[in-house]
Amino acid sequence: MTKWLNRLIKPNTQMSEKEKINTEEKILQAAEEIFVKDGHSGARMQQIADKAGINKSLLHYYYRSKDKLFSTVFKFIFSKLASDIMNIFDSEEDIFGKLEKFIENYLRILMKNPIIPMFILNELNKKGNNLATIIIKGSNINLNKFEEIIQKEIDAGNIKNINPKSLIINILALCVFPIIGRPLTEEIVFNGDTKKYDEYLGQRKDEVFAIIKSTITIEK
């Protein structure tokens, strides 16, 4: 009973055996794949068990219910993405270089995980979802730091006096939309030409940076 209780209280407690971790890990990986692909209500416990190569009962042994398993997976995915993003602003360049790096890295991450943002937005938009606030507040995302940096640059007269909040939203919008809107935009803008769309995404970072740059540059 001890280990079991331990896992509930301190989920990250390391277990003495190294092999046994594998099951929990396998479940998590399988669940991640299925949940991301099908969403909470679309995913099936049996499907996850099959993908993990284990009995369905084991899912309930390690994670008591579908909801618990889901929220674990969601938290995991979100924090992984969030930390990836947050680690980006540590470069020592000027504000323009920082923004360029940020956009470049963010787009790279999104393109490497193209279904993750849709998954997150989709679940966040579900009615009666307290998960959003809970998880986001629990995450290490800290945009105050970002806003401070921008404000400092404005005060120093290096960039236009824009709203830092808008800047964030615009960057996110311009980066995220081509990924989550792909089925739509690829079809309606690129007439379904997948290769062309890939090319487009490849140079999207330059486009986004150019736009963002123009919104903050002081005209002479």
DSSP H helical ranges for 53-163: 56-62, 66-86, 95-112, 116-124, 131-138, 143-155
Q: Nearest distance from residue 63's CB to DNA, in Å? A: 8
Instruction: Output the CA torsion 155→160→162→168 (10° steps).
Output: -100
- Binding DNA (rule: CB under 7 A), the pick from 12, 14, 16, 130 is 16
Residue 22: phi, psi to the nearest 5?
A: -50, -45
What does 4 bind: its own copies, DNA, none (CB cut-off 5 to 8 Å by kind)? DNA
Site pattern 181..200 for its own copies (x: CB under 8 A)? xxxxx-xxxx-x-------x
CA distances from 89 to 8, 46, 53, 74, 98 (A): 35, 41, 40, 24, 7
Closest alpha carbon to 211 in 175, 163, 158: 175
Would you say 63 or 119 has its CB closer to its own copies?
119
Total number of residues that touch DNA (CB under 7 A): 25
Residues 36-95 that bind DNA (CB under 7 A): 43-46, 54-58, 60-61, 64-67
Dist CA 159 CA 151 (whole Å): 9
Closer Cβ to its own copies, 3 or 196, answer by number:
196
Coil, helix or strand at residue 119: helix
Which listed option, its own copies, DNA, none, makes contact with residue 46 (CB within 5 to 8 Å by class)? DNA
Residue (57 or 163) nearer to its own copies, CB: 163
Question: Residue 136: which of DNA, its own copies, none does it interact with, CB under 5 to 8 A by kind?
Answer: its own copies
- Tell me the closest approach of the beta carbon of residue 10 to its own copies, in angstroms: 27
Question: CB of 36 within 8 A of CB of 115?
Answer: yes
Q: Are 204 and 107 in contact (CB under 8 A)?
A: yes
The residues of the shown chain that bind its own copies, judged by CB under 8 A, are 37-39, 41-42, 115, 118, 120-122, 124-127, 129, 132-133, 136-137, 141, 143, 165-166, 168-170, 172-174, 176-178, 180-185, 187-190, 192, 200, 207, 210-211, 214-215, 219
